[in-house]
Amino acid sequence: MVKTRFALCAVGLLAAACSPDLNDRTSILDGPRVLAIRSEPAEAKPGTVVAYRALVGQAGSDPSWAFCTARKPLAELGPVSTECMQVSGESLVPFGEGFAASGKLPADGCRNFGPEAPTAKPGEPPGRPVDPDVTGGFQQPLRLLVDTPEGPRFSLGGTRLSCGLAGVTPEQLSEFQHRYVANENPELESVAVVGRGEALKPGDGKNQVRRGEKLALRASWKSCEAPPCAGAEPYVVFDPVSRTLVDRRESIRVAWFATAGAFEHDRTGRDGEDPTTFVDNAWTAPDAAGPVQLWVVIRDDRGGVGWLDYHLMVE
């Protein structure tokens, strides 16, 4: 999974990387923070209506949503154009408010962010198509705005675009279209306490923990032999070096968050070559009694996202 970081009074989430822009110890929340943005479907053609959900830890006000249509200049740092990280502007297309919203992907997504040649601006030379990411994909970015007592906080999300291939032979294009299956969001099956033989109860289920207790946690997802499925999916990608279609499997990353206590690792994961369908971590409960909220977010490297949340009671 490629990790990106971009700060502009912001917490950044880019679906291509799907990795939060966080500080050194990212797993303990001390205020509102966007932990994940989920696109359903996880991959779609421009013009498709997509449903989005935001996972906001210690949520406050309703966030506002907007697609960004600005291409990032080559000389500009960061995963997207700075025009995306604004309250409003010509490059932003608002489509809803709240922790869930639906919007139609901009029709020119494959020109702005994909393999098609972009429309030339008056007086400027023609631009070049966007290079695919390491999974062969392209992303339509979106901006999520959350108001906090410290001011507006921006987050980046997106949807993987189904744009096809460019610069390949007709035979390769035909084979790719026959074999490629659009990405599905991954799902966590459970987060279990190793040694207890039981899983934590998600949602509002009561999970009792002793003060200072250390829990060995295991997050699991489904085994995936063929797509579509909610695990580490196999997929086909065009390799620009060998100029051939190659088979790969998604890598999986899991991010851990809580309102108190301490995790041994902020993030854990499995590479595409590793068929294991779980990761382990440890969480130590705080010394003070009281409620703790815990979130576990799973991401695949094609941009899919899922999560489970838990309520713990430290006694």
Domain count, the chain: 1
Q: Is residue 85 part of a domain?
A: yes
Q: Is residue 3 part of a domain?
A: no
Is residue 140 a contact partner of residue 121, using CB atoms and an 8 Å limit? no
Low-confidence ranges of the chain (pLDDT < 50): 1-24
d(CA 71, CA 81): 6
Q: Is residue 134 part of a domain?
A: yes
Q: How far is CA 27 from CA 117, 149, 162, 254, in A?
A: 41, 21, 33, 11
Type of residue at 153? R
Type of residue at 239? D
d(CA 87, CA 153): 10
Q: Is residue 182 part of a domain?
A: yes
DSSP code of residue 171 = H
d(CA 305, CA 101): 16
Is residue 20 a contact partner of residue 29, using CB atoms and an 8 Å limit? no
Q: Is residue 1 part of a domain?
A: no
* Pairing verdict, β 151-161 and 43-44: parallel
**pLDDT for the residue numbered 32:** 83
CATH code at 176?
2.60.40.3880
* pLDDT tens-digit map of 283-305: 999 999 999 999 999 999 999 99
**How many residues are recorded in the chain?**
315
**pLDDT for the residue numbered 25:** 59
**pLDDT for the residue numbered 8:** 29
**pLDDT for the residue numbered 180:** 97
Q: Is residue 228 part of a domain?
A: yes
Q: Is residue 12 part of a domain?
A: no
Host domain of residue 308: 33-314
Of the candidates 43, 52, 28, the residue with the CA atom closest to the CA atom of residue 300:
43
The DSSP line for 84-148 is GSSSS-TTEEEEEESSEEEEEPPTTHHHHSSSSPPPPPTTSPPP-PPPP-TTS-EEEEEEEEEEE
Please give the model's pTM, rounded to 2 decimal places: 0.89
d(CA 302, CA 43): 9
Q: Is residue 9 part of a domain?
A: no
**pLDDT for the residue numbered 128:** 87
